[in-house]
Chain A
Amino acid sequence: MQHLCWLVLAACITPLHALALTAAGGQRLALRPSSRSPALAMGAVRQVTTEEFEAELQDCATPILLDVFAVWCGPCQLMAPEMDKVAEHYGDRCRVLKIDADDEAEVADTLQVRGLPTVLLINDMSVVMRAEGALMADELKEIVD
């Protein structure tokens, strides 16, 4: 497994903000506090957009397990229920997110995703672990632990 230093990612995240800025009509994107409701978030995989993902990144309270997937990707479908199990297992100790590589292509590019699914563990704004290919719940938990 490959460790990516935050420096690399940080350099890429900046233009990501710039993109969001333009979308917001030139106004600075307000970094909202995470809007998720604890009741909903508890133990469920949440699909996020680019903007939502950026907001999640700013929140360093818990690690993020991110599944970059696509609807046409067979192994991604295979892994989806495994991600559910992981989300349930960690509850509010880990945010389990997924992002559609087609809809949010800039994020996939920024995160250097070259194959699907790609699972990234993000802690304190750094990608600390990444894995390509479908993993079972046990393997996913190993990444988080």
Chain B
Amino acid sequence: MAAAEAQYDLLVIGGGSGGLACSKRAASHGKKVAVCDFVKPSPPGTTWGLGGTCVNVGCIPKKLMHQAALLGEGMTDAESFGWEVAAPKHNWETMVGNVQGHIKSLNFGYRSDLMSNGVKYYNAYATFLDPHTVEAVDKKGKVTKITASEIVICTGGRPRYPDIPGAKELGITSDDVFALKSPPGRTLVVGASYVALECAGFIKGVGYDTTVMMRSIPLRGFDQQMAGLCKTYMQEHGVAFIEGAVPTAVEATPSGAKKVSWKLADGSVGSGEYDTVLFAIGRDVCTSAIGIDKAGVKLSSNGKVPTVNEQTNVPHIYAIGDIIDGEALNPPSATTELTPVAIQAGKLLADRLYAGKSALMDYSMVATTVYTPLEYGAVGLPEEEAIKLHGEDNIEVYHSYFKPLEWTLPHRGDNVCYAKLICLKPEGERVIGLHVCGPNAGEMTQGFAVAIKAGATKAHFDDTVGIHPTVAEEFTLLATTKRSGDSAEKSGC
């Protein structure tokens, strides 16, 4: 059967947040646009609908499951506020069912959105034949040859498996955990990325024994003092950590459990039995199986795409989202793999291509939040980066430990939450980094991100009247510098 043929102004390969935003914006400028999206099943066989990682196997389900864990914590706290409730019991199947239902509604919304915007959707896997042509194959094997004047690649990434026996046969990843039909039971999470710690956090939070196996440091790329606070909180709330270890094999036991063997940094070995082994050791971008060489697009050694203003080395081919090489940006950015970054980049790109606009994507000062049990919000540079970039003498760090008012009645930990501002002294103490560990860190950080984007200095924070009693007001009250060596802890009763 001869392949069907179709021609577009713009073809977007990958129906994640960035690709969808870009395609709809391009269509709104009167262009003929198509999106190809196709999810290859994960090794355990999980697959999902239109919308990409964030919607299906990322931000959305993880925040909902984080919320499930927070509610559990809240129910424990409730007693101190006078509520007399029976010991809560969590039902994994109910949570997964409702989360998956919500995801399906988002998938439907995206499809209907494309329809309303006149964007043609192909649920098909696109592979380049030449720089202007792809072959799109759907699940039934139907082939469509699509040519386009411009092409945006945004194929995203997928979790990496370690190259050890049994990993793919017996392990799962974040591609699977949000759709797990039965409860995870005793869980080993391998890795200490934000994906690893978030998953370990909510699995423990809804009631399952959870162990994290980490090779080196938690939350690589993030401020390490903050990463340490997130990890300590998890440890104090029952998550076990095996540090300096890498797994060497996973085997099925006769009872149906998974026996994981590992090797420690000192050469010694260990093993343990788990019901679920979740690998979260990093992600690989999906650029190796789309015939990208036929398009002539050059890749970095890690498979990512170097871009200048989203343009690849091939002038009519662009890249957005997880696949762009943040290290190759000028200045380098560690916050390229974020849904709102991809959306913004995609919209601005479509505006430049088809609406004569000139605004460029700014990959700096992007706020983000890690949804570990103790949430961590950040804008700008980690302290180590700030020092490396500007020199220790040019940096002033203001900081404070604090305890949210809401934690007082249930007597939850003193000096667990923490706020710090990293200021650049030669520029009038302009804030170049804001970090906070505490409840609702995301909500706090988003607002501060606007101020920091606008160039806020420490004086602006000092001049701002706080809202009492909130956690965020801590940032208007910061008086202790790290340099002073004075205690940033608050004393008890």
**Contact A22/B101 with A70-B108, A109-B111, A109-B115 known, Cβ cut-off 8 Å:** no
Interface size on A, residues (CB 8 A): 18
How far, in Å, is A26 (CB) from chain B's closest CB? Answer: 8
How far, in Å, is A118 (CB) from chain B's closest CB? Answer: 10
Partner of A102, one of B107, B112, B123: B107
How far, in Å, is A51 (CB) from chain B's closest CB? Answer: 13
A109–B108 Cα gap in the complex (Å)?
A: 10
Chain B residues closer than 8 Å to A108, beta-carbon distance: 108, 111
A 58-97 binary contact with B (CB < 8 Å = 1; else 0): 0000000000001111000000000000000000000000
CB-based contact B101/A115 at 8 Å: no
In the assembled complex, 27 residue pairs joining A and B whose CB atoms fall closer than 8 Å, in A order, are A18-B142, A19-B142, A22-B140, A22-B141, A23-B140, A70-B104, A70-B105, A70-B108, A71-B101, A72-B101, A72-B102, A72-B104, A73-B105, A101-B108, A102-B49, A102-B107, A102-B108, A105-B111, A108-B108, A108-B111, A109-B111, A109-B115, A114-B112, A114-B115, A114-B116, A115-B112, A116-B108
Partner of A112, one of B101, B115, B121, B140: B115
Within 8 A of A (CB), among B122-150: 123, 140-142
How far, in Å, is B302 (CB) from chain A's closest CB? Answer: 35
Chain A residues closer than 8 Å to B49, beta-carbon distance: 102
How far, in Å, is B187 (CB) from chain A's closest CB? Answer: 27
How far, in Å, is A109 (CB) from chain B's closest CB? Answer: 7
How far, in Å, is A33 (CB) from chain B's closest CB? Answer: 26
A31–B377 Cα gap in the complex (Å)?
A: 59
Please tell me if A107 contacts chain B, counting CB pairs below 8 Å: no
A109–B107 Cα gap in the complex (Å)?
A: 13
Chain B interfacial positions (CB closer than 8 Å to A): 49, 101-102, 104-105, 107-108, 111-112, 115-116, 121, 123, 140-142
Q: Please provide the 7 A-B residue pairs with the shortest distance between their CB atoms, ordered closest to farther.
A: A72-B101, A114-B112, A22-B140, A72-B105, A72-B104, A102-B104, A22-B142
Please tell me if A127 contacts chain B, counting CB pairs below 8 Å: no
A 1-40 binary contact with B (CB < 8 Å = 1; else 0): 0000000000000000011001100000000000000000
How far, in Å, is A108 (CB) from chain B's closest CB? Answer: 8
A101–B121 Cα gap in the complex (Å)?
A: 16
How far, in Å, is A25 (CB) from chain B's closest CB? Answer: 10
How far, in Å, is B1 (CB) from chain A's closest CB? Answer: 8
CB-based contact A113/B112 at 8 Å: yes
A47–B408 Cα gap in the complex (Å)?
A: 54
Chain A interfacial positions (CB closer than 8 Å to B): 18-19, 22-23, 70-73, 101-102, 105, 108-109, 112-116
Chain B residues closer than 8 Å to A18, beta-carbon distance: 142
Given contact pairs A19-B140, A109-B111, a sample of 11 additional A-B residue pairs in the complex whose CB atoms are under 8 Å apart: A22-B140, A22-B142, A70-B105, A70-B108, A71-B101, A72-B101, A72-B104, A102-B49, A113-B112, A114-B116, A116-B108
A73–B141 Cα gap in the complex (Å)?
A: 31
How far, in Å, is B315 (CB) from chain A's closest CB? Answer: 34
Chain B residues closer than 8 Å to A102, beta-carbon distance: 49, 104, 107-108
Chain B residues closer than 8 Å to A105, beta-carbon distance: 111, 123
A76–B108 Cα gap in the complex (Å)?
A: 14
A105–B114 Cα gap in the complex (Å)?
A: 14
Chain A residues closer than 8 Å to B102, beta-carbon distance: 72
A61–B107 Cα gap in the complex (Å)?
A: 36
Chain A residues closer than 8 Å to B116, beta-carbon distance: 114
Chain B residues closer than 8 Å to A23, beta-carbon distance: 140
How far, in Å, is B260 (CB) from chain A's closest CB? Answer: 36
Chain A residues closer than 8 Å to B140, beta-carbon distance: 19, 22-23
Chain B residues closer than 8 Å to A115, beta-carbon distance: 112
A73–B106 Cα gap in the complex (Å)?
A: 11
A70–B141 Cα gap in the complex (Å)?
A: 27
| Most chain A Cβ neighbours within 10 Å, of B108, B121, B140, B142 | B108
A53–B470 Cα gap in the complex (Å)?
A: 57
How far, in Å, is A96 (CB) from chain B's closest CB? Answer: 22
Q: Which residue of A lies closest to B101 (CB)?
A: A72
Q: Which residue of A lies closest to B103 (CB)?
A: A72
How far, in Å, is A98 (CB) from chain B's closest CB? Answer: 15
Chain A residues closer than 8 Å to B111, beta-carbon distance: 105, 108-109
Q: Which residue of B lies closest to A18 (CB)?
A: B142
Chain A residues closer than 8 Å to B107, beta-carbon distance: 102
A23–B111 Cα gap in the complex (Å)?
A: 22
A79–B64 Cα gap in the complex (Å)?
A: 27
How far, in Å, is A145 (CB) from chain B's closest CB? Answer: 29
Chain B residues closer than 8 Å to A116, beta-carbon distance: 108
Q: Which residue of A lies closest to B105 (CB)?
A: A72
How far, in Å, is A111 (CB) from chain B's closest CB? Answer: 11
A23–B138 Cα gap in the complex (Å)?
A: 12
